[in-house]
Amino acid sequence: MAAPEPTRKNTVLIVLAASALAGLWLLDFSSIQPNRIVPGISQNLFAAAGTALSVVLSIMLAALVLLGLWSRSRRLVAAVVIATAGLCLLPWLLVSVSLNQLTDDQPSARIGLGAAFWLLLFLLSLMLVECWQRVNLDVHWRLIAMAAVIGSWSWAYSSGQLEALGLLREYHSRSGQFHQALRQHLLLVGGAVGCSLVLGFALAVQILRRPRWQEPVLNVLSFFQTIPSLALFGLLIAPLSYLSNQWPWLQQFGIRGIGWAPAVLALIGYSLLPIVRNTWVALSEVSPGVVDAARGMGMSPAQVFIQVRLPLSLPVLLEGVRITTIQAIGLTAVAALIGAGGLGTFIFQGLGQAANELILLGALPTIGLALLADGFLTAAIQWLRQRHLSTSLTAQATAP
Partner 1 sequence: MIELIGVSKTFNGRTAVDAIDLTIPKGSICVLVGTSGCGKSTTLRMINRLLPHDAGIIRIDGQEIRSFNEQKLRQQIGYAIQSTGLFPHWTVERNIGLVPRLLRWPKQKIQDRVEELMTLLDLDPAIYARQYPRQLSGGQAQRVGVARALAGNPETLLMDEPFGALDPITRDNLQNELLRIQAQVKKTIVFVTHDIDEALKLASQIVVMDQGRIVQVDHPEQLLRHPANAYVENLFGSQDRGLKLASLFPVRSLFETDTPIQANGLKAPGSGPEDCIEATDSLRLALSKMLWAGASEMPVVDANGQVLGQLTLEQILRANGK
Window 344-363: contact mask with partner 1 (x via CB under 8 A): --------------------
Q: What is the DSSP letter of 111?
A: E
What is the C-alpha separation between 75 and 69, in angstroms, rounded? 11
Q: Counting contacts by CB under 8 A, is residue 398 touching partner 1?
A: yes
Toward partner 1, which CB reaches closer, 315 or 320? Answer: 315
Q: Counting contacts by CB under 8 A, is residue 296 touching partner 1?
A: yes
To the nearest whole angstrom, how small is the minimum distance from the Cβ of residue 396 to partner 1? 9
Please report, for the chain, how many H helices and E strands are present, in that order: 18, 3
Q: Which residues pair with 8 in a beta bridge?
A: 71
14 within 8 A of 130, measured Cβ to Cβ = no
Toward partner 1, which CB reaches closer, 98 or 313? Answer: 313
When binding is defined by CB under 8 A, the residue of 38, 139, 297, 354 that contacts partner 1 is 297
What is the C-alpha separation between 152 and 326, in angstroms, rounded? 28
What is the C-alpha separation between 279 and 221, in angstroms, rounded? 14
Toward partner 1, which CB reaches closer, 246 or 396? Answer: 396
Query: Which range in 27-35, 69-77, 180-188, 285-293 contacts partner 1 by CB under 8 A?
Result: 285-293
Q: Counting contacts by CB under 8 A, is residue 205 touching partner 1?
A: no
Query: Which range in 174-182, 197-205, 207-215, 305-313 contacts partner 1 by CB under 8 A?
Result: 305-313
When binding is defined by CB under 8 A, the residue of 308, 333, 360, 373 that contacts partner 1 is 308
Q: Counting contacts by CB under 8 A, is residue 287 touching partner 1?
A: yes
Q: Counting contacts by CB under 8 A, is residue 210 touching partner 1?
A: no
Q: Counting contacts by CB under 8 A, is residue 283 touching partner 1?
A: no
Q: Counting contacts by CB under 8 A, is residue 389 touching partner 1?
A: yes
Toward partner 1, which CB reaches closer, 293 or 371? Answer: 293
When binding is defined by CB under 8 A, the residue of 238, 293, 351, 372 that contacts partner 1 is 293
- Where b means 16+ CB within 10 Å and e means fewer, 352-362 reads eeebbbbbbbb
First to last CA, the chain: 34
Toward partner 1, which CB reaches closer, 279 or 332? Answer: 279
What is the C-alpha separation between 33 and 39, in angstroms, rounded? 6
Q: Counting contacts by CB under 8 A, is residue 302 touching partner 1?
A: no
Please, which of residues 76-95 interact with partner 1 by CB under 8 A?
A: none
To the nearest whole angstrom, how small is the minimum distance from the Cβ of residue 285 to partner 1? 12
Please, which of residues 115-154 interact with partner 1 by CB under 8 A?
A: none
When binding is defined by CB under 8 A, the residue of 299, 337, 363, 367 that contacts partner 1 is 299
Q: Counting contacts by CB under 8 A, is residue 107 touching partner 1?
A: no
Taking the CB of residue 193, how many other CB atoms lie within 10 A of it?
A: 22
Query: Which range in 92-100, 101-109, 112-120, 289-297 contacts partner 1 by CB under 8 A?
Result: 289-297
Contacts 24+ apart (CB under 8 A), 22-25: 23/115, 23/116, 23/119, 23/120, 23/123, 24/54, 24/57, 24/58, 24/61, 24/116, 24/119, 24/120, 25/58
337 within 8 A of 348, measured Cβ to Cβ = yes
Q: Counting contacts by CB under 8 A, is residue 311 touching partner 1?
A: yes
What is the C-alpha separation between 14 and 134, in angstroms, rounded? 14
Q: What is the DSSP letter of 71?
A: B
Residue 33 is inside which H or E element, if any?
strand 30-33
Residues engaged in binding partner 1 (CB under 8 A): 287, 289-300, 303, 308, 311-312, 387-389, 391-392, 394-395, 398-400
